[in-house]
Chains A and B, each alone.
Chain A
Amino acid sequence: DTGVSQDPRHKITKRGQNVTFRCDPISEHNRLYWYRQTLGQGPEFLTYFQNEAQLEKSRLLSDRFSAERPKGSFSTLEIQRTEQGDSAMYLCASSSPSGGWFFGPGTRLTVL
C-alpha cells in the first residue's frame, strides 16, 4: 500500500495519560500535515513539516502537544496529560510539490 498510513487507528486513554500517534506519509511527499477533527466540524490545522523542519504551528497546538519528523519521513504527534477535550480524530496528510494532497485513515482518540 503506497498511501498515507497512521497508527494506531483507535486509542482510548484515561485523562492525564500521555499518548503518541504515528504517521507514515507517501514516500516521495516532502510535506506532512497534522489536523484535528471533531464531530460535525471540518478538519482544523495543527502543524506541518517540510522534510524534517516544522514550519508552522497553530495556536490550537498547546504546550501539551508536540510533533516531530526527525528524519523527514514518518512523524509523531504526542499529547501529554490528555484532557477530555482532546477527544477527536487526528488526521495526517502529505503532499508533494506538484500539489497532490492525501489524508491517512486517521487516529480516533477517546479520552475518558
Chain B
Amino acid sequence: GQNIDQPTEMTATEGAIVQINCTYQTSGFNGLFWYQQHAGEAPTFLSYNVLDGLEEKGRFSSFLSRSKGYSYLLLKELQMKDSASYLCAAQAAGNKLTFGGGTRVLVKP
C-alpha cells in the first residue's frame, strides 16, 4: 500500500526558515516530489528527488533518504507569498504519484 505523512500546519515568521518533513511507505518507489499549492489553484512543481541527498534550488531545498523513507522541504528567507500548502508525493509504478494531505504554511510578518 501507499502511505504519506506530513504535518497539517506550520507557522513561521517572514525571513525565517521552515522545514516540512514527509515520511512515506510506497511499494515500487521511484522518487519524491514536492509541490506548492495556493488556495484555489492547482499544484505547481517545486522539486523532484530520486537519489539520496539534498537538492538546492534557490530559496527552496529538498532532501531525500530512501533507506529511511524520509524527505524534507526547506524554505529559506521566507516571504509572505510563500504562505501556501506544500504537498509531498511519492512516485511509484506507472509514474503515478500518491500525495500526502499537504502542509499549510502560514508566514507571519
Identify the A interface with B (CB < 8 A).
Answer: 31, 33, 35, 40-45, 48, 50, 55-56, 89, 91, 93, 95, 99, 101-106, 108
| Chain B 18-40: CB-based contact to A (< 8 A → 1; otherwise 0) | 00000000000011010100001
If the complex has contacts A31-B95, A42-B99, A45-B96, are A101 and B45 also in contact, measured as CB distance less than 8 A? yes
Of A40, A56, A99, A101, chain B has the most CB atoms within 10 Å of the CB of A101
Find out whether the CB atom of A33 lies under 8 angstroms from the CB atom of B96.
yes
Find out whether the CB atom of A41 lies under 8 angstroms from the CB atom of B101.
yes
If the complex has contacts A99-B31, A99-B48, are A43 and B43 also in contact, measured as CB distance less than 8 A? yes
Find out whether the CB atom of B95 lies under 8 angstroms from the CB atom of A103.
no
Interface of chain B residues 46 through 85 with chain A (CB within 8 A): 48, 50
Chain B contacts of A33 at CB under 8 A? 96-97
If the complex has contacts A42-B99, A42-B102, are A103 and B44 also in contact, measured as CB distance less than 8 A? yes
Chain B's interface size range is 20 to 34
Chain B contacts of A55 at CB under 8 A? 94
Q: In the complex, what distance in Å separates the CA atom of A99 from the CA atom of B90?
A: 12
Chain A contacts of B96 at CB under 8 A? 33, 45, 48, 56
Question: B33, B40, B41, B100: which contacts A101 (Cβ < 8 A)?
Answer: B33
Find out whether the CB atom of B87 lies under 8 angstroms from the CB atom of A106.
no
A sample of 8 cross-chain residue pairs with beta-carbon separation below 8 angstroms, ordered by A number, consists of A42-B102, A43-B43, A43-B87, A44-B99, A48-B94, A101-B48, A103-B42, A106-B41
A41 to chain B, nearest CB (A): 6
Chain A contacts of B50 at CB under 8 A? 99
Q: In the complex, what distance in Å separates the CA atom of A89 from the CA atom of B99?
A: 15
Chain B contacts of A40 at CB under 8 A? 101-102
Find out whether the CB atom of A101 lies under 8 angstroms from the CB atom of B97.
yes
